Chain A
Amino acid sequence: MDLVLQLLFTGIGIGSVYALVALGFVLIFRATNVVNFAQGEFSMVAAFLMVIFAVDLEWPYWLSFLLALAGMALYGVIFNLGVYYPLRHRTYLPVIISTIGASILVANTMLALYGPQPQVLSPVFETPGFNVGPVYLDSQYLLIIVVTMVLVAFQYWFFEHTLLGKKLQATSQDKEMASLLGIPVATMIMITFVYSAVLGGLAGILVAPILFVSIQMGGTIALKAFAATIIGGFGDVAGAIIGGLALGVIETFGAAYISVPYKDGFAFLVLVLFLVFRPQGLFGERVAEKA
């Protein structure tokens, strides 16, 4: 039982990272109808920004953290203007290719700058963790869970209770109609990219002390997050969060009880099972078309 609780904690911790990145996937998909294949690089770039600020320049951790997030907001703007905006009137295919190109470009830029060896980022807290009853709570995992919960709550409030949130939703549901009402569609999509980049960046910064900072980290996180969005029901916000958490728990239990080397395999096994037996995901398509 103790082991189960311990694994549950770790699973939810790592699942929170997948959930944050999955949220970013879903928000961009809903706003642009395109899967952003450079979503994982949002996390990777943010982690490298932390390495630059906190390790190379030896700036204080909190300052580096704020600067890295600000950097991600700027990255979101540049990404929107460079990768999406010029192709916004085209079909989804050129945009998808454009995001794949961005992903390759960014990963290789980092490779050129830092080489293939992984970088190490120290955890936020000096205390590595503490025991609550039989369960050892690692402080970095705890931080990830808390930050994710706060962000999910913030996002719910933002989309459900602010006019800007409603305008973002309207834009994702019908861009032409939104523009007829005077909603600045290009600005709304820009905001979505910035928010999505900050979300992905936050996930990358939080998970960096656990995973090492490498050019592969983006791809690994993005694949898991992509699987999470499919399990949750593509395009569904709640589904992305629950799918991410579920995936983290499943792979942690799979690693503990079945096989450690096949840890990553469990996530994709679940993904394949969903694609075969329930392709619409846990929450299916919430918004149906009605004549």
Chain B
Amino acid sequence: MPLIECKDLVVRYGEIEALHGLTIAVEAGEVVTLLGGNGAGKSTTLRSISGLVKPVSGDILFEGQSILGAGPEDIVRRGIAHVPEGRRVFPGLSTRENIMLGASNRKGLTKAQIRAEADGMFDLFPDIRPFADALGWTLSGGQQQMVAVARGLMAKPKLLLLDEPSLGLAPVIVQKVFSIIAEIRKLGTTVLLVEQNARMGLSVADRGYVLETGRLVLSGKPADLWGNEDIRAAYLGGHARVKATLPAV
């Protein structure tokens, strides 16, 4: 039984259909990446799983039980943490407070226990340790991304949904974020990762799904997807031969 299973998911935003019957599954312990361009429906898939959008039809099974129609507060209590696009670090709270609030889905913890756990996160994210008391809005994009992932892990999730962790970050920082994803995988947390950066996404994944305008077009092992030049050119942007036609100066 897969840990999470989306069956024939249809999502509409008003008149526009964002997902036209998407079926994907992630086994426990896997890292799976959802690839595709803008408007492919990647974020919509994650937002459906975490309960932020209500699909019009289809089903979502988590540990074999339907979570369709449950609200986000309920779903995170079941063990699905969503680190959304744009990081969404609380601007007026400190790094430590942001991370501590990640444990809001867990019951029966004292403030001291949560604080100790939050401080423990700095072992995994040493770069943000010096900024423990800095307010969220003062952090750089990369630091905010690390806070957002740490906050997600504080939920002790069985499934971690990561939406575009590389977006807007410098290449060096992207490398860092992905090495952290590799670490998370070693901890045994199942990850469903959305990426536009196909190369980075596939570098940490066991399997990949490729979406195009709300439909699944391909799936397979990273080597099969990345190794096929036609696929790369058509869907992953890995082979785009851009001829820069600059006017002569």
Residue contact B92 to A169, C-beta cutoff 8 Å? yes
Which of B8-16, B35-43, B94-102, B187-195 contacts the other chain? B94-102
Residues on B with beta carbons closer than 8 Å to the beta carbon of A290: 91, 137-139
Residue contact B72 to A180, C-beta cutoff 8 Å? yes
User: A167 with B82: in contact, given A173-B92, A180-B76, A287-B137 (CB under 8 Å)?
Assistant: no
Residues on B with beta carbons closer than 8 Å to the beta carbon of A183: 73, 101, 104
Residues on A with beta carbons closer than 8 Å to the beta carbon of B91: 173, 287-290
Q: For residues 142 through 193 of chain A, which have their beta carbon under 8 Å from a beta carbon of chain B?
A: 162-163, 166-167, 169-170, 173-174, 176-185
Given B88, B97, B137, which contacts A166 in the complex, CB threshold below 8 Å? Answer: B97
Q: How far is the CA of A163 from the CA of B81 in the complex (A)?
A: 20
User: A181 with B93: in contact, given A163-B111, A291-B168 (CB under 8 Å)?
Assistant: no
Residue contact B168 to A180, C-beta cutoff 8 Å? no
Given A170, A180, A287, which contacts B50 in the complex, CB threshold below 8 Å? Answer: A180
Which of chain A's residues has its CB closest to B115's CB? A163
Does B207 make an interface contact (CB < 8 A)?
Answer: no
Residues on A with beta carbons closer than 8 Å to the beta carbon of B82: 180
Number of A-B contacts (CB under 8 A): 75
Shortest CB-to-CB span from B132 to chain A, Å, is 14
Residues on A with beta carbons closer than 8 Å to the beta carbon of B73: 179, 182-185
Shortest CB-to-CB span from B73 to chain A, Å, is 5
Contact surface of B with A, Cβ cutoff 8 Å:
50, 52, 71-73, 76-77, 81-82, 84, 88, 90-93, 97, 100-102, 104-106, 111, 114, 135, 137-139, 141, 151, 155, 168
Residue contact A182 to B92, C-beta cutoff 8 Å? no
Residue contact A181 to B141, C-beta cutoff 8 Å? no
Shortest CB-to-CB span from B107 to chain A, Å, is 10
Shortest CB-to-CB span from A72 to chain B, Å, is 28
Residues on A with beta carbons closer than 8 Å to the beta carbon of B90: 169-170, 173-174, 177
Residues on B with beta carbons closer than 8 Å to the beta carbon of A291: 141, 168
Residue contact A174 to B88, C-beta cutoff 8 Å? yes
User: A179 with B71: in contact, given A169-B93, A289-B91, A291-B168 (CB under 8 Å)?
Assistant: yes
Q: How far is the CA of A242 from the CA of B90 in the complex (A)?
A: 25
User: A181 with B104: in contact, given A170-B90, A174-B90 (CB under 8 Å)?
Assistant: yes
Residue contact B77 to A182, C-beta cutoff 8 Å? yes
Q: How far is the CA of A290 from the CA of B155 in the complex (A)?
A: 26
User: A182 with B93: in contact, given A163-B114, A177-B88, A287-B137 (CB under 8 Å)?
Assistant: no
Residue contact A182 to B104, C-beta cutoff 8 Å? yes
